[in-house]
């Protein structure tokens, strides 16, 4: 590399670094169980009876109004994930290559986005939206940082036998790493206890479309 090229390259790097803002991704820790132990619950067939989880999610919101601006148009129902850019909480469109670098901010924290900018460009300033756009917070999108989730899903009743699907998610929370169908016979009173991988669930009533139960013990309980 000749000296002239080295100088040019170094100058570009200095300019780029001075214009490029500092940022970090906004995460939430998603840790817990559902439902709580001892709580009476009813779910439909195909729904989760019980789950335990510990993983990180992106802070996530959904637009309930369109964003219309010369910088970008973002339709309602778009999903956005959180960032901290230059110590300001902002949201970017999720998984949309056409809107890379576009961020929105709620400057007065009233539940409406009121300004927009493209933070990747060399000239990057906040611009007010012509009309503020409402958004709502929704369940976070799992990150790629790992974690786990375990759940039991009601699969219905055949004669006097209930079927339950066990699913286990590890590291890639978006896809189950392991699954297994287990079956339990109801007694003469239409009750039984689901026991699997340490979890104990007392079935109060089951039919082909729903199950009524309480969780006595979770997967990780001793």
Structure confidence by residue, pLDDT tens digits, 208-222: 999 999 999 999 754
How many C-beta atoms surround the C-beta of residue 24 within 10 A? 10
The Cα–Cα gap between 44 and 166 comes to 16
pTM: 0.70
pLDDT score for 131: 96
* Range list of β-strands (E), the chain: 23-25, 27-34, 40-44, 48-63, 67-68, 73-74, 79-85, 88-93, 102-105, 112-118, 127-158, 161-170, 178-185, 192-196, 199-206, 210-217
Evaluate if residue 121 carries a pLDDT over 80.
Answer: no
pLDDT score for 17: 44
Name the token pair of 192: 């039984």
CB 48 within 8 A of CB 153: yes
pLDDT score for 222: 41
Residue 35: cis peptide before it, omega within 30 degrees of 0 = yes
pLDDT score for 215: 97
User: To 5 degrees, how large is the angle CA 201–CA 203–CA 204?
Assistant: 135
pLDDT score for 171: 81
Evaluate if residue 86 carries a pLDDT over 50.
Answer: yes
Give tens-digit pLDDT for 9-34: 333 343 444 455 566 777 888 999 99
Give tens-digit pLDDT for 127-183: 999 999 999 999 888 887 789 999 999 999 999 999 999 999 988 787 888 999 999
pLDDT score for 22: 67
Q: Which residue is it, tokens 């929704």?
A: 138
119 vs 133 pLDDT, higher one:
133
Chain mean pLDDT for the chain: 88
Q: Which residue is it, tokens 């779910």?
A: 43
Residues 6+ apart with CB under 8 A from 33: 50, 51, 52, 53, 215, 218
The average pLDDT across 185-207 equals: 97
């Amino acid at each position: 590399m000749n000296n002239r090229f080295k100088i040019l390259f170094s100058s570009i790097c200095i300019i780029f670094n001075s214009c490029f803002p500092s940022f970090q991704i906004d995460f939430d820790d998603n840790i817990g169980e559902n439902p709580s132990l001892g709580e009476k619950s009813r779910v439909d067939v195909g729904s989760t009876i019980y789950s335990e989880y510990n993983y990180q999610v992106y802070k996530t919101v959904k637009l309930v109004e369109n964003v219309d601006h010369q910088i970008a148009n973002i339709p309602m129902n778009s999903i956005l994930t959180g960032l901290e850019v230059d110590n300001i909480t902002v949201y970017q469109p999720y998984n949309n290559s056409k809107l890379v670098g576009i961020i929105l901010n709620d400057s007065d924290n009233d539940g409406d986005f009121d300004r927009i900018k493209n933070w990747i460009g060399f000239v990057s300033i906040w611009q007010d939206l012509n009309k503020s756009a409402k958004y709502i917070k929704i369940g976070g999108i799992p990150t790629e940082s790992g974690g786990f989730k375990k759940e039991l899903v009601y699969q219905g009743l055949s004669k006097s036998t209930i079927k339950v699907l066990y699913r286990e998610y590890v590291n890639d929370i978006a896809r189950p790493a392991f699954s297994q169908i287990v079956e339990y016979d109801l007694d003469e009173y239409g009750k039984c206890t689901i026991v699997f991988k340490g979890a104990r669930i007392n079935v109060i009533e089951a039919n082909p479309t729903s199950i009524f139960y309480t969780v006595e013990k979770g997967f990780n309980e001793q």
